[in-house]
Amino acid sequence: MTISPTHLPEHAVAAYAQERPSIQRMILEARWAHLQHDATYEHPEAFRSDQVHRLARARLIHLGTLHDVLAIRAARDPEVHEAARGLGTNLLAHDGFHLPTTSLSGTDYLRTAYAAMHGHAEPRPRTIPPAVNPAESRQAQPPFDWPPASRIIRTMLWSYAAARTCQHHGRSADADAQLREHHIARGLLLWNAAVLAPADRGSAQAAAAAAHHVRDLDGRPRTHDENALHYILDVYHEAHLEEAEQPHDPDCPGGCAGDGVVMVTLTWDDQGNGIFVPVWQEPVDCTEGVPLDHDPACPDCSGHGYTYSRGERHLCLCLRPVHQHT
């Protein structure tokens, strides 16, 4: 008996139809690339310039395609769609294209780069998924109290990186807490992906496994999958009360459209003569239009707002609301 392959929304794109990566695998790729890229800043003496370039490129591709697949699955978080486009555009700049004049699309270039990375140099035409019953084709969405997918991705990556740092310095209790946060975020992201594409049974099963693991860490008794999934959603909200209790308005002056997250450029390529081309953005918490300033006492930027390394300019993260510096 021949078993037909599962068609997922992203398989309408040639690069993803050829490689058919699971969400679990894309998470692992993005996590690896994020860790390696961070290591180039923490231990610059351990990397050659060509290695730094390749790792930065890998991070753009893997993080960009993870956002892109969620965007194709019609994730409700607008920052997911913006991040996919922005990371693709940053990849163009990273590869030396002149952004004001290139006709290339950042998203298309991102997909082509992903295909080439996995040995698919000439993407095939788009595949046509099997016809579905219109009554069954309505796009499912997570509940409205769901945290933004872009924030879940950021939490998932940063908590894992923090756990590795804590392990390196022998702070096992802090490492365990960060790993728990990572498993919560990873489970929520997989659950989100499965809700958006019900045919993705692999993501649903991996989400449930992550949720049960968190309950085991917390000493909770075994339960069925649905209870376990709602448990990690509840504990996420308990750990991020500021998100649930202070929703932003749809016309928020900070520009987040109500989801509490905005994209901010963190790295520019220094091309000389005062020309800086954006090459890296990340989602950050929206400040609802509260003015921010850099700390004049910051040991890294001395208050001017930027640090520099290997031909790049970086936004210093000492930004705080103005009143906190006075």
Evaluate if residue 22 carries a pLDDT over 60. yes
Q: 216 and 79 share a domain? A: yes
Q: 151 and 293 share a domain? A: no
303 occurs within a structural domain: yes
132 occurs within a structural domain: no
Question: Using 50, 70 and 90 to split pLDDT, how confident is the model at 142?
Answer: low
DSSP state of 257: T
| 63 vs 4, more confident | 63
250 occurs within a structural domain: no
- The segment with the largest mean pLDDT, out of 18-22, 276-280, 296-300, is 18-22
Question: Using 50, 70 and 90 to split pLDDT, how confident is the model at 242?
Answer: low
Backbone angles phi and psi of 284, in degrees to 5? -135, 165
Mean pLDDT on 26-45: 91
130 occurs within a structural domain: no
| Bridge partner list, 263 | 283
Number of domains in the chain: 2
- The segment with the largest mean pLDDT, out of 119-128, 136-145, 163-172, 212-221, is 212-221
Report the pLDDT value the prediction gives residue 107, as an integer from 0 to 100.
Answer: 92
Q: 216 and 301 share a domain? A: no
Backbone angles phi and psi of 46, in degrees to 5? -90, -5
**What are the structure tokens assigned to 268, written together?**
């520019």
**289, 254 contact by CB (below 8 A):** yes
Q: Which of 99-108, 183-192, 230-239, 257-266 has the lowest mean pLDDT?
A: 257-266
Mean pLDDT of the chain, nearest integer: 83
Backbone angles phi and psi of 282, in degrees to 5? -145, 150
306 occurs within a structural domain: yes
Evaluate if residue 304 carries a pLDDT over 70. yes
- Portion of the chain with pLDDT greater than 90, in percent: 48
Q: 228 and 114 share a domain? A: yes
Q: 14 and 46 share a domain? A: yes
**What are the structure tokens assigned to 284, written together?**
């950050």
| The domain boundary residue, chosen from 241, 276, 295 | 241
Q: 157 and 18 share a domain? A: yes
Q: 274 and 175 share a domain? A: no
Name the nearest CA neighbour of 309 among 90, 46, 49: 49
Q: 174 and 89 share a domain? A: yes
Report the pLDDT value the prediction gives residue 175, as an integer from 0 to 100.
Answer: 93
Question: Using 50, 70 and 90 to split pLDDT, how confident is the model at 239?
Answer: confident
Q: 221 and 276 share a domain? A: no
> Against a cut of 0.85, is the pTM above it?
no
| The domain boundary residue, chosen from 190, 208, 241 | 241
Show Cβ contacts of residue 252 under 8 Å, excluding neighbours closer than 6 positions: 258, 286, 288, 289
121 occurs within a structural domain: yes
Q: 191 and 230 share a domain? A: yes
Cα–Cα distance between 174 and 67 in angstroms, integer?
Answer: 29
137 occurs within a structural domain: no
Report the pLDDT value the prediction gives residue 257, as an integer from 0 to 100.
Answer: 74
- Domain hosting 87: range is 9-125+146-241
Q: 188 and 304 share a domain? A: no
Mean pLDDT on 102-114: 92
Mean pLDDT on 151-159: 93
Q: Which of 186-200, 202-216, 220-234, 272-286 has the lowest mean pLDDT?
A: 272-286
Q: 84 and 153 share a domain? A: yes
279 occurs within a structural domain: yes
Report the pLDDT value the prediction gives residue 322, as an integer from 0 to 100.
Answer: 58
Evaluate if residue 202 carries a pLDDT over 50. yes
Evaluate if residue 139 carries a pLDDT over 70. no
Mean pLDDT on 163-173: 91
